[in-house]
Amino acid sequence: MERFIERSLHEAYAATLQEKVPQRFTELLDRLKASQGGGDGRAR
Amino acid sequence: MAAHDKLKDDLVRAIPSLRAFALSLCGNAERADDLVQETLMKAWANLSSFVEGTNLSAWLFTILRNAFYSDFRKRRREIEDADGQMAGRLASMPAQNGHMDLQDFRAALMQLPPSQREVLILIGGSGMSYEEVAAICNCAVGTVKSRVNRARNRLAQILSVNSADEFGPDAVVQATLEPTQASSRTP
């Protein structure tokens, strides 16, 4: 039983990991990066 | 701009893990992606609070988790109903065909309280350490361990399976085997 749960946890997680990253996220990051301009948001 | 390029690359690399975690928390792909989007926006807006060189994934998971619970509190009733309906829709008795698939497992997972579900996925799915999960969930390592333990036990109950034997032959095969086994015991 324990093995089934562990295997299923891995499979459930891995199934999503293998999906292609939706374009909406890369576009969002591009927009955020563009709106940030030349400044660096990192404090440290 | 180079720092932003690197950061963007780091965030893009983290997206699959964030989506997997979000999906395990809310059980709905569309809502999970909304959570991930909210997480990315909050992360970008609060970059000054991220200490470079520390664990970016853990920081993002914390933001996502906070966003989930904030949304969860707002829509508690709706989510509970949705979870119940979803579990009912997806649940199929494993005894019907003698085995369980990932859909059965996901449905069972969604019946756990979020506090148990999240630690189980972070430990068992993403492979994080108890210490990392404790930091993300803002609780003691012992609390994480007991939640994982309770979650595993509860999953076993939900799946109505108490031993590996029950993943064996289906009902038809078992019915075929039983008389043979019974007769083999007869002197």
Rounded Cα gap, residues B71 and B83, in angstroms: 15
Rounded Cα gap, residues B52 and B45, in angstroms: 15
How many Cβ contacts (< 8 angstroms) between chains A and B?
106
Percent of chain B whose pLDDT exceeds 70: 70
- Cβ A2–B125 below 8 Å, yes or no? no
Q: Model confidence over B127-137: pLDDT tens digits?
A: 899 999 999 99
Q: Model confidence over B56-104: pLDDT tens digits?
A: 999 999 999 999 999 888 777 555 554 444 444 443 344 444 456 778 8
Rounded Cα gap, residues B122 and B127, in angstroms: 6
Q: Are A1 and B164 in contact (CB under 8 A)?
A: yes
Across the interface, of B3, B23, B40, the residue whose CB is closest to A16 is B23
B 161-180 residues inside an 8 A Cβ radius of A: 161-164, 167
pLDDT band for position A39 (cuts 50, 70, 90) = very low
- Cβ B44–A3 below 8 Å, yes or no? no
pTM: 0.72
Q: Model confidence over B14-56: pLDDT tens digits?
A: 999 999 999 989 888 899 999 999 999 999 999 888 888 888 9
- Cβ A1–B125 below 8 Å, yes or no? no
Q: Model confidence over B125-163: pLDDT tens digits?
A: 888 999 999 999 999 999 999 999 999 999 888 887 544
**Nearest one of B92, B110, B90 to B32, comparing CA atoms:** B110
More confident residue, B4 or A39: B4
More confident residue, B167 or B22: B22
Query: Who contacts B138 (Cβ-Cβ below 8 Å, separation ≥6)?
Result: B62
Percent of chain B whose pLDDT exceeds 90: 43
